[in-house]
Amino acid sequence: MSRSTPFRILVAKLGLDGHDRGAKVIARGLRDRGFEVVYTGIRQTPAMVARAALQEDVDLLAISILSGAHNTLVPRVINLLREQGQADVPVLLGGIIPEADRPVMRAAGVAEIFGPGTTIGETADWILAALGRDE
Amino acid sequence: MTAPAGSSNPEHLAEGLRDGDMRSLARALTWVERRADGFETLLGALLSHAGQAQLVGVSGPPGAGKSTLIGRLAEQYGAVQRVAVLSVDPTSVVSGGALLGDRIRMTDVSLADNVFVRSMATRGTAGGLSLACWDLALVLDAAGYDPILIETVGAGQGETEVRHLADTTVQVEAPGLGDHVQALKAGMLEVSDIVVVNKADRPDSARTAARIRQTLALGMETGLAPHAFHGQANDTGRGWVQPVLLTDALAGTGINELQARIAEHRDWLCASGARQDAEHRRAARLLNLLVDQGWQARRRFMLEAAGWDDVVEAVADRQQEPHAAARWLLQRVFGDGSGS
């Protein structure tokens, strides 16, 4: 990536979910594609994720969740982002999100959902397109 | 480079962050870090409000416990005052990206309203700090955060840049990282104001601390103790003697004492006049870095015009001796003997 300043991305693990291999793989993969990735660590509440997004002033938030609590937790994060003036920050969702829940997530404001099998390259390309500047 | 979205103008941002608005502060930090249009106006608007905060640099090898220790310190300070953390992690020289993972160790303060944590990447600056660190520290200072805890990349022997920026430097060591010869080598140890041996629960921590004390005592005898760095080598009465503390950041032990030593060092800086000297040195250092940066960009063109590619080829082919080749290039650029 040849931009003069890299995009900043927050990779967050939301809720009571200790399985963060996927989040780490994504964080590392995006790093290798030239992004600056802030990683929150596991077991973050919606308020903690929103606060990190605020202080780090990230260009995009990528939430990883495998616990099944996405219908409850993800809208809370998005509402907090809106309240703190970050409605323009795209929210990506990764992990195990059943097909039936996807419309709910999109309605809540999730920009894109990436399930198992998605490559780092697909994710990175989507992010670059979403942020409106290419490599 | 356009200004970051969501910002209005430098004056509004400056006003907002001075009023305690976290969003304005975060935007201002991005703006300044990107050096987006108008960032100099923003810094200029904040200049007169800065200068109050104690900048505390925290350095040490990877895994010594810097982030956890800073998290504990921020928790303590945050109970009574506004404290900021600037955490620097390395930029990949391969991709230009970075993994900024220091927040993971600071989750206890992630919702404290008095604590502002910002991660940043080195973005190609050597020495363990990002050049933008200087500007970001100024913004946080003007926003009323005091102290500002600056965590360098995992460092120890070469990454001593933070001592130029910080008022107070804390070197964090951990037991089990090397023998007594490591403690004798040059590095942050000899230029830090406070030394912390973290992981005090480990059985060999007391011995590590003892070795470090011995090494520092030797420095006092040879006149190379850190007060020499503060410009008072010949006035030991005014000198600062580096304390060596034991902490267990995970358990929260020793943090009170570290906080007390940091406050003591601030008092000493003010009382001894060292703080004024430090301000002067800091200004000179920053100007040097900024002029160097501009100079490096320009010298590339000048060297290319002087035949850089051919000389590289000749040195790579072992047709030319490197020192002579460098001198020849400098003579082509400057037209004199300044390459000697």
Best B30, B100, B115, B136 residue to mutate vs chain A (most A CBs within 10 Å): B100
Cα–Cα distance for residue pair B101/B170, rounded to 1 Å:
20
B121 touching A (Cβ < 8 Å): yes
Distance from CA of B132 to the nearest CA of A (A): 12
**Is A67 among the domain residues?**
yes
Range of the domain at A68: 8-129
**Is A3 among the domain residues?**
no
Measured between beta carbons, the chain A residues lying within 8 angstroms of B1 are 4-5
Q: Which of B22, B97, B103 minimises the CB distance to A40?
A: B103
Report the residue count for chain A.
135
Residues contacting A1, CB < 8 A, separation 6+? A33, A34, A35, A128, A135, B95, B96, B97
**Is A134 among the domain residues?**
no
**Is A49 among the domain residues?**
yes
B8 touching A (Cβ < 8 Å): no
Measured between beta carbons, the chain B residues lying within 8 angstroms of A27 are 99
Going from the N-terminus, what domains does chain B have, and what CATH number goes with each?
A: 1-49 (no CATH), 51-272 (3.40.50.300)
Do B107 and A44 count as a contact with CB atoms less than 8 A apart? yes
**Is A66 among the domain residues?**
yes
Split into its structural domains, chain A has a count of 1
Two tokens, residue B175 = 């037991």
Measured between beta carbons, the chain B residues lying within 8 angstroms of A4 are 1
Tell me if B102 sits within 8 A of B89, measured CB to CB: yes
> Closest-CA residue in chain A for B35?
A5
SS (H, E, C) A68-124: CCHHHHHHHHHHHHHHCCCCCCCEEEEECCCHHHHHHHHHHCCCEEECCCCCHHHHH
B115, β-bridge pairs = B83
CATH code for the domain in which residue A58 is found: 3.40.50.280
Q: Which of A31, A41, A84 minimises the CB distance to B103?
A: A41
Task: Note the ipTM here.
Answer: 0.91
Two tokens, residue A24 = 């780490």
**Is A93 among the domain residues?**
yes
B23 touching A (Cβ < 8 Å): yes
User: Each residue's pLDDT tens digit in chain A (135 positions)?
Assistant: 345 789 999 999 998 888 888 889 999 999 999 999 999 989 999 999 999 999 999 999 999 999 889 999 999 999 999 999 999 999 999 999 999 999 999 999 999 999 898 999 999 999 999 998 644
User: Would residue B30 be called left, alpha or beta, if left means φ above 0 and alpha means ψ between -120 and 50 degrees?
Assistant: alpha
What are the pLDDT digits (tens) for B196-252? Answer: 999 999 989 998 898 888 888 877 666 555 444 444 433 434 578 889 999 999 999
Burial per residue of B229-248, b for 16 or more beta-carbon CB atoms within 10 angstroms, e otherwise: bbbbeeeeeebbebbbbbbb
B297 touching A (Cβ < 8 Å): no
